[in-house]
């Protein structure tokens, strides 16, 4: 076997981390502390050790910049253009990650000079092929948010329907009819009214709802298909 010529590539993971601050869809970026492109903005990520699992590597990256564990992540796609990394052949596997914006502690960051949330649509230029990766992630998020209950990963455990609707509007890039939106929600038994209301602002407080994972799983077993 002459496999040595093949075993010369590196594997990395990159995390496209979305958040929602109640107003805009956000993207978590880091200012690189290491070469190449030191000082430029990039997706959080890192090289994967030869014996390291990809999911574990992604978790490590996410923990190191947010201090959080068990963050939602789904494999997005592999990016492998031969010229994407100046140091050699580096194939990267991108993950689409969703987290509760407020729970992230960005001061934790170890491998980034700074870590910062940006509006998805007003982000700095990114290094490598990270623009492509972000575009693919935004597209995937847009496709999946309608057919899977992933929006709840971006909201607090208790959330209001106006929050949920605004999140959908920001992701889909269009406004939705309030009454139609809420009618669909009302059919979803796994979205439960908590009998609580949002802390007062200067107008009518909104009811707080909760996504009940167990009830959703049951419904799914029985053939229910999420759709919004």
Partner DNA sequence: ACAAAAGTGTTGACATTACACCCATGC
Partner DNA sequence: GCATGGGTGTAATGTCAACACTTTTGT
Interacting residues toward a copy of itself by CB under 8 A? 1, 3, 5-11, 35, 47-54, 75, 77-78, 80-82, 87-89, 91, 93
- C-alpha to C-alpha distance for 114 and 112, rounded to whole angstroms: 5
Residue 118 burial (10 A CB sphere; 0-12, 13-18, 19+): middle
Closer to a copy of itself by CB, 139 or 186: give it: 139
Contact call for residue 184 and DNA (CB under 7 A)? yes
The rounded distance, in Å, linking the Cα atoms of 169 and 99 is: 18
- Helix ranges, 32-159 (H): 54-66, 130-145
Which among 83-91, 106-114, 122-130, 198-206 is the span making contact with DNA, rule CB under 7 A? 198-206
The two structure tokens encoding residue 36: 């190449």
State in angstroms the smallest separation of the CB of 164 from DNA. 10
202 binds, among a copy of itself, DNA, none (CB under 5 to 8 A by kind): DNA
Nearer Cβ to a copy of itself, position 80 or 219? 80
Q: Kindly state the smallest distance separating residue 208's Cβ from a copy of itself, in Å.
A: 34
CA angle 112, 110, 48 (to 5 degrees): 85
Site for DNA (CB under 7 A): which residue of 182, 192, 219, 224?
182
Which of the choices a copy of itself, DNA, none does residue 201 contact, using the CB cut-off of 5 to 8 A by kind?
DNA
Q: Residues 84, 92: contact at Cβ < 8 Å?
A: yes
Asked if residue 162 binds DNA (CB under 7 A), the reply is yes
For residue 198, what are its two tokens?
């949002």
Partner from a copy of itself, DNA, none binding residue 203, C-beta < 5-8 Å depending on class: DNA
Rounded to whole angstroms, the Cα distance separating 125 from 110 reads: 22
| Candidate list 150, 161, 171, 188; residue touching DNA; CB under 7 A | 161
The burial class, CB within 10 Å (0-12 / 13-18 / 19+), for 151 is buried
| Interface residue list for DNA (CB under 7 A) | 160-162, 177-180, 182-184, 197, 200-207, 227
């Amino acid at each position: 076997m002459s496999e040595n010529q093949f075993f010369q590539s590196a594997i990395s993971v990159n995390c496209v981390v979305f958040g929602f601050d109640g107003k805009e869809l956000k993207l978590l970026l880091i200012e690189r502390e290491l070469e190449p492109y030191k000082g430029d903005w990039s997706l959080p990520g890192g090289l994967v050790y030869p014996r390291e699992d990809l999911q574990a590597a992604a978790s490590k990256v996410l923990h190191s910049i947010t201090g959080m564990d068990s963050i939602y992540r789904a494999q997005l796609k592999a990016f492998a253009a031969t010229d994407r990394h100046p140091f050699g052949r580096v194939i990267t596997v991108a993950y689409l990650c969703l987290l509760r914006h407020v729970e992230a502690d960005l001061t934790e960051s170890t491998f980034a000079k700074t870590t910062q949330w940006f509006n998805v649509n007003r982000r700095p230029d990114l290094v490598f092929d990270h623009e492509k990766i972000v575009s693919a992630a935004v597209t995937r998020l847009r496709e999946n948010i309608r057919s899977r209950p992933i929006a709840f990963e971006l909201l607090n455990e208790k959330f209001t329907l106006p929050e949920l609707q605004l999140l959908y509007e920001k992701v889909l890039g269009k406004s939705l009819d309030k009454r139609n939106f809420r009618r669909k929600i009302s059919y979803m038994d796994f979205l439960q009214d908590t009998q609580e209301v949002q802390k007062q602002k200067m107008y009518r407080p909104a009811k707080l709802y909760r996504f009940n994972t167990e009830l959703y799983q049951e419904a799914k077993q029985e053939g229910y298909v999420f759709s919004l």
